[in-house]
Amino acid sequence: FVFFLVGVVRWPKRNSPFIGEAHVDSRLNSSRRQFTLLNKRLSGLETIAISSEKGRMLKSLNEELLLLSRPIRELLSKAPYTPPEGSSVSIKSMLLSLLSDSQLEIRDFSLCCAALASASESTYNQLFWVPNSLSLAAASAFKDLSKAYAAMAAGNHDLIKFGELDLDFKSLPNDKILAIHLIPQLLPLLKDTIKESAIDKSIDGHAISAASASVPVAYAIIAAYQFRWFISQVDYPHLGKVCSLVIPCALTALDHWSSEVKGQGMISLIYLAKNVNAAEIGWYEDVILDACCQNIASDDEIWERVVQMSVLMVTFTQKSNPRSIWYEKLLNEMLSHLERQPRNKERRVAWLQHIEPLFNGLGLILLSHFRRLFPLFFRWMHADDDRTVLLVLERIKTIVKLTWIRNSPYIERLVDELVSLFKEAALKIAREEIRQLVLQTIILIQQSKGSQFKAAWDKHKDDPDLTIFHHSLIEQQPAMVVRLGNLDVTDKVVAM
């Protein structure tokens, strides 16, 4: 029996299926091993080739970086520089240290370019010394480096890593790739630099102390300018992808005590709102609008920016909700501030210039703010400067269009003030523009209020000083009626 089994194994028949299957399996296993080994060898060769190509590209980029940095370093070295009196910081030395030949990096070179390029629009005394030619050269050098970086990336897409950012490499313009690549690296760094010299509240919310008394504020100001310049290099639709990095840095700047730092944060948020979708900042809208409220009482030099930022942000995020609490908070905060300084020309002009989108967003809800708006308007209508007068007339005209001054006790007073202003305009340089706006507003009031307007107008109709006004009113009225059409009051509120 044993012999038989051994014999079967040792001397099988030539045509037995057992022989064919075993033989095929053996050959297949051998082939698989050889194929796997071959793949490993080929992968190794491919990795070596990619590494070699990557090394060549990086070397070429480093050479381009050195080539671009030399003229910038030379211009920077020759630029006359005297530190401001009492300053312990040399901005020039700090920037030169970013251009070291021995350890030059793309990050440092880009930071230097950002500081120099932003100096062309700076109001900061520590950047006044930067020649315009140097600012232009720095901006141009960064653009050239970005193109070289893009060319290298096009040769090997694996070289560009955007971390957690969901960005399509192929959709990025060549001059945006480097800026987008640097934002995740640089913005946290710049945010920390700004915060180092900020004023923080302690845990109990009462005691206030400097985060680091030994850190000069100049570093925070330069970082704020660099931050603003970097995000301005990216636009729609790519900027929305980095909102989670941009907004915290901008809010840190708004929380700083320095007006220079605050101002750059405001400019950054204004730019952001113009280059992203509302949904992309949805998670941050409340904290941004709260920061706007907290900054309404800013210094004169950044008042226009805070108004522009606040109006843009509230209309951008709350445009479909005129009853939003943020409309009321921001408008009341601004009016409180203006009521305390009604004679401040710069503040009132800036506010009148930028407030109209907020009025349009509120619509009929403006009626609830008349008691605070019109006392200021009546005062400003007779201001010495024509700019204020023209702006306040334009805003009054907008309010009349939006609300038709429904059930308002201000009709009679408004007509009286407009008539008085028409007379005063004879002594003003912009008298024709002022009178034109007065006439247009009077006609709108007449169209909307009817008998109430007639009662207010009757006391002026026989005034001999208004002969020109009566003639102009008769001439202007048909044209205004044609523009208004035969709409009833409800239709007009919607159409206007």
The whole-angstrom separation of Cα 391 and Cα 482 is 25
Q: Which of 46-60, 148-162, 171-185, 263-277 has the lowest mean pLDDT?
A: 46-60
The DSSP result for 340-368, as a single string, is H-TT-HHHHHHHHHH-HHHHHHHGGGGGG
The DSSP result for 249-282, as a single string, is HHHHHHTSS-HHHHHHHHHHHHHHHHSS-GGGGG
Domain housing 270: 67-81+89-275
- pLDDT class for 452, splitting at 50, 70, 90? confident
Same domain as 300, residue 286: yes
DSSP secondary structure code for residue 84 in this structure: P
Q: In the Cβ-directed half-sphere of 250, how many Cα atoms lie within 13 Å?
A: 30
Same domain as 223, residue 123: yes
Same domain as 373, residue 240: no
More confident residue, 238 or 202: 238
- pLDDT class for 164, splitting at 50, 70, 90? low
Same domain as 291, residue 316: yes
pLDDT attached to residue 8: 36
Is residue 494 included in any domain, yes or no? yes
Instruction: Give mean pLDDT, residues 360-385.
Output: 95
- pLDDT class for 100, splitting at 50, 70, 90? confident
Same domain as 466, residue 401: yes
CB 309 within 8 A of CB 265: no
Same domain as 315, residue 182: no
Q: Residue 71 corresponds to which amino acid?
A: P
pLDDT(159) > 90: no
Q: Which of 44-53, 436-445, 460-469 has the lowest mean pLDDT?
A: 44-53
CB 265 within 8 A of CB 248: no
pLDDT digits (tens, 9 = 90+) for 1-59: 333 333 333 344 444 444 454 554 555 566 556 545 545 544 444 444 445 555 666 77
DSSP secondary structure code for residue 208 in this structure: E
Q: Of 224, 242, 275, which residue constitutes the final position of a domain?
A: 275
pLDDT digits (tens, 9 = 90+) for 175-231: 788 999 899 999 999 999 999 998 865 444 444 444 455 688 999 999 999 999 999
pLDDT exceeding 70 applies to what percent of the chain?
76
State how far the alpha carbon of 420 is from the alpha carbons of 73, 405, 424, in Å: 63, 20, 6
Total domains in the fold of the chain: 3
Is residue 286 included in any domain, yes or no? yes
Q: Of 354, 375, 394, which residue constitutes the final position of a domain?
A: 354
- pLDDT class for 486, splitting at 50, 70, 90? very low
The whole-angstrom separation of Cα 22 and Cα 404 is 97
pLDDT exceeding 90 applies to what percent of the chain?
55
pLDDT attached to residue 172: 76
Instruction: Give mean pLDDT, residues 264-292.
Output: 95
CB 344 within 8 A of CB 387: no
Same domain as 221, residue 249: yes
Same domain as 336, residue 408: no
Categorise residue 79: left if φ over 0, alpha if ψ from -120 to 50, beta otherwise.
beta
The whole-chain average pLDDT of the chain stands at 82
Tokens coding 41: 């060898």
pLDDT attached to residue 104: 83
Q: Max alpha carbon distance in the chain (Å)?
A: 143
More confident residue, 84 or 311: 311
pLDDT(248) > 90: yes
Same domain as 283, residue 174: no
Q: Which of 43-57, 288-302, 394-408, 418-432 has the lowest mean pLDDT?
A: 43-57
Question: Among 181, 82, 69, which Cα is nearest to 116's?
Answer: 69
Is residue 17 included in any domain, yes or no? no
Same domain as 201, residue 98: yes
The whole-angstrom separation of Cα 178 and Cα 172 is 10
Q: Of 257, 275, 293, which residue constitutes the final position of a domain?
A: 275
pLDDT attached to residue 88: 81
Interaxial angle between packed helices 106-118 and 174-196, expressed in degrees from 0 to 180 and rounded to the nearest 10: 80
pLDDT attached to residue 461: 76
Same domain as 381, residue 333: no
pLDDT attached to residue 472: 66
Same domain as 309, residue 374: no
pLDDT(161) > 60: no
CATH of the domain at 467: 1.25.40
